[in-house]
Structure 1
Amino acid sequence: MNTYKITLLSLLATLAVVGRYLFQFIPNAQPVTALIIICGILLGPIEGIILALLVTFLSNMLLGMGIWTIWQIVAWGIIGLLSGLLGELFKKVPVIVIVLFSVFSGYLYGFIISLTTYSVSGAFWPYYIAGLPFDTTHAIGNGVFMIVFYPIITRLFKKYAEKRFTIRNTN
């Protein structure tokens, strides 16, 4: 990993932490998942996992640490890994597929976070079903943030990456 990718990861982490903090008043609607997906698709699976770790740790320093922090790292790390693999498997991923993947990721994140309750109390399904409205908010938010951020970040990355390193899935 070169200095340019580290710089991009730092900028994405800052954007995600600030976005999570600014949108904390809307339950589960924050740009973190969308930015991790964008990072994974454009930079790779390892970078997606690193961004998930950074954002979770840094934003939870502001919003509060707890046992859920580990599960957030796992959930966002898996999403970063899957999006990185999506970017590696397909030379060009259509935007509609990326938006649908980001909506799916909202529900995947909620499912993994619900496993926290199972590990503590042994009750999974009641907690998961009760959380479905929040997962839906997360999924819709991911779709909206992806529609807004993906074209902007792709254009900026393409401009920045010229002659420094290669990024995938751009025109």
Structure 2
Amino acid sequence: MNIYKLTLIALLAALAVVGRVTFSFLPSVQPVTALIIICGLILGPFAAVVLAFLTTFLSNMMLGMGIWAIWQVVSWSLIGLLSGLIGKIPGRKPLLVIIIFAVFSGYLYGFLISLTSYQITGKFLPYYLAGLPFDTNHAIGNAVFIIILYPLIAHFFKKYADKRFTIQNTS
């Protein structure tokens, strides 16, 4: 991982932390998942996992740290890995496909976070069902943030993406 890529990850981490803290008044609506998806698509799966760790640790320093932080890292890392694998598929990804994946990621995140309740209380289903409205907020928020942020970030990261995809196509 070179300095340029680390700088891009640090920029996304700062944006994710500020976005998470800024939108903390809205339940489950935050740009973090969308930024991790964008990072995975453009910078690759490892970069998305690094972003997941950084964002979780730094934002939880302000919002509160607890047992759920482990599950946040696991959830966002898995979403980052999946988006990184999607990013490795050759060809241009339609925005609609990315939006559908972002909506799915909102529900996947909620499912994995609900495992925290099982870990502590041994009851999963009541907690998961009670959290579905929040998962829906998260999924819709992801779609909106992808619509707003993906074209913008992809444009600004075009230099890196062009270099990355040029290297991939020649090997």
* TM-score (normalised: structure 2): 0.94
Task: Name the CA shift for 1:167/1:60 in 2 (closer, same or farther; >3 Å).
Answer: farther
Task: Name the CA shift for 1:167/1:4 in 2 (closer, same or farther; >3 Å).
Answer: farther
Unaligned runs of 5+ in 1: none
Show the counterpart of 1:32.
32
Render the CA deviation track for 1:107-137: whole Å, top value 9, x for unaligned.
Answer: 0000000000001101000000000000000
Q: Tell me the distance in 1 between the aligned counterparts of 2:33 and 2:61.
A: 18
Q: Tell me the distance in 2 between the aligned counterparts of 1:90 and 1:65.
A: 39
Matched, 1:143 2:143: yes
Show the counterpart of 1:44.
44
Stretches (4+) displaced over 4 A: none
Show the counterpart of 2:130.
130
How far the C-alpha of 1:167 sits from its partner, in A, is: 5.1
Task: Number of aligned residue pairs: give it.
Answer: 166
Q: Tell me the distance in 2 between the aligned counterparts of 1:154 and 1:89.
A: 16
Aligned residues of 2:30 and 2:141 also touching (Cα < 8 A): yes
Aligned residues of 2:16 and 2:32 also touching (Cα < 8 A): yes
Matched, 1:166 2:156: no
Q: Tell me the distance in 1 between the aligned counterparts of 2:78 and 2:102.
A: 13
Q: Tell me the distance in 1 between the aligned counterparts of 2:12 and 2:30.
A: 14
Aligned residues of 2:42 and 2:161 also touching (Cα < 8 A): no
Q: Tell me the distance in 2 between the aligned counterparts of 1:72 and 1:88.
A: 24
Aligned residues of 2:43 and 2:161 also touching (Cα < 8 A): no
What's the secondary structure of 1:166's corresponding residue? helix
Structure number with the higher helix fraction is 2
How far the C-alpha of 1:162 sits from its partner, in A, is: 7.7
Percentage of identical aligned residues: 63
Render the CA deviation track for 1:126-169: whole Å, top value 9, x for unaligned.
Answer: 0000000000000000000000000000000014x288x4259x
